[in-house]
Structure 1
Amino acid sequence: MTVRVLLADDQEIVRTALRLVIDRREGLSVIGEASDGEQATALATELQPDVVLMDVRMPGMTGVEATRRITTTWPGPGQAPRIVVLTTFDLDEYVHAALHAGASGFLLKNSTPDQLAHAIRAAADGEPVLAPSVTRRLISTVTALPPALLPSPPTPSPDERSPTDLLTERELQVLVLVAQGLSNARIASALDLTEANVKSRVNRILTRLGLDNRVQAAVLAHRTGLLATTRMPPET
């Protein structure tokens, strides 16, 4: 099955380079190009790609707003495309906002062709497009952002259960490892599960907690104290 990709970047030379890299990879194909957020939103609806590579800074409608519109107003059929945000800086505040607007992850523009291809395939499969070290920095930085940019699960009253009380013990274990930045493969290895089983559990966790992506789940785990007594794995 070929993963269909839409490119959104205001620089033609960047789009050309991305197209050359992607189209040379087996199972990947660029089906369209957009030069701003408004065009990206329109083409996403028209072409229904599997993945959108979205530049975060574009004239007019930004990549953040385009991401929000695609993920929240998707007309179907099927699910909205996975959106991978492209950025020059790994701690760009716009990237955090885009993740909370529904992006599946982000990729640095200086990534290698192999990293780009892997990120596209991972996003299409519902995998995170975030390295463990980047996830740690995201958790640290995102939790310091203004509340308007953070996921806001309801705060329970003293006689109510915490949102994480909705999860089973195994799901809590998976959530902690997600918050530590582990991939589905590493979580499967750590918990002696299959990758398919981990993927299913992660999706169930997001649904039960009312979250859109793994970064939001990581932030929630951080805010509810699940990581307080958990040792983070060494950076890779």
Structure 2
Amino acid sequence: MDTRTADNADCALLSPGDCLPLARVLIVDDHPFFLFGITAILEQENLAREVATVASVADAVDDLRSRPETSLVLLDLTLQGEAGLSLFSELEQIGLPVSVVVISSREDEASVRAARSAGAVGFLPKSAGRRSLVRMVQRVSNGLLFYPSLPFPSLSPEHLTPRQLEVLTLLADGLPNKRICQALDLTEHTVKTHLKAIFTHLDVHNRTECVAQARALGLL
């Protein structure tokens, strides 16, 4: 999944806030008071034109199927009777590109890393304040990751070969492997080898996380 919707595909080139308000934000949480509070902040800060709420992964999938223009999902880790991270596999199966930020009362490093590995573009503890929420939405709306509690490796373009940078650029443009092969006149095996090396360099696990991490590090 790409980290951005088609409507804000150029936003990573802009300053924080230039892509706001988001067209639509979906909150997946089963705590009414939390839903009320975060909805109010998103509306008061003009971060989203529309905010919707659901209480389960199944309802979230149904909502996103009917409203694919959704720009951002705010997902609780622990929902009644199910794990919030299961949403990522559901989105992968239906091929729906939408950015997801995990918002949880759990703040341990294992939970944060689990969210990142699943494909979340950010993690915000529920104990965070209003400013942190605003800053998070500003960053992810510009195609950047939001993991303030995790150290990221200090990387530069020199850590990737020129060919790997070409593959990374085409990956960020949304090209599938076959199109990358055609553009660079490479075999599919070679492209997969380059992608594996890029993922290792950036310490990521999927294409969505790779593109978001590369932008956050200034490689794109």
- Whether TM-score is above 0.5 comes out as yes
Aligned equivalent of 1:58, options 79, 103, 113 = 79
Contact 2:160-2:198 at 8 Å conserved across structures:
no
Gaps of 5+ in 2: 1-19, 178-193, 206-220
Q: Deviation of residue 166 (structure 1)?
A: 5.8
Contact 2:47-2:137 at 8 Å conserved across structures:
no
Structure-1-length-normalised TM-score: 0.56
Contact 2:159-2:201 at 8 Å conserved across structures:
no
- Classify 1:55/1:166 alpha carbon distance in 2 versus 1 (closer, same or farther; 3 Å): same
The answer to whether 1:218 aligns with 2:211 is no
Sequence identity percentage: 18
Alignment match, 1:168: 162
Cα distance in structure 1, aligned partners of 2:170 and 2:117: 21
Q: What is the root-mean-square deviation in Å for CA atoms of aligned residues?
A: 3.6
Alignment match, 1:18: 38
Cα distance in structure 1, aligned partners of 2:21 and 2:112: 27
Deviations 1:116-175 (A, max 9, x none): 1221232122101111xx222x89xxxxxxxxxxxxxxxxxxxxxxxx98633996xxxx
Structure-2-length-normalised TM-score: 0.59
The one-letter code matched in structure 2 to 1:6 is: L
The one-letter code matched in structure 2 to 1:209 is: L
Aligned residues: 159
The alignment partner of 2:102 has SS state of: strand
- Classify 1:169/1:211 alpha carbon distance in 2 versus 1 (closer, same or farther; 3 Å): closer
Cα distance in structure 1, aligned partners of 2:94 and 2:127: 30
The one-letter code matched in structure 2 to 1:81 is: V
Query: Aligned runs of 1:3-82 on 2, under 5 Å?
Result: 3=22, 4-48=24-68, 49-70=70-91, 72-76=92-96, 80-82=97-99
Contact 2:47-2:134 at 8 Å conserved across structures:
no
The one-letter code matched in structure 2 to 1:2 is: P
Cα distance in structure 1, aligned partners of 2:82 and 2:95: 20
Cα distance in structure 1, aligned partners of 2:76 and 2:131: 19
Gaps of 5+ in 1: 140-163, 172-198, 221-236
Q: More relative contact order in 1 or in 2 (CA 8 Å, sep 6+)?
A: 2
Cα distance in structure 1, aligned partners of 2:143 and 2:60: 21
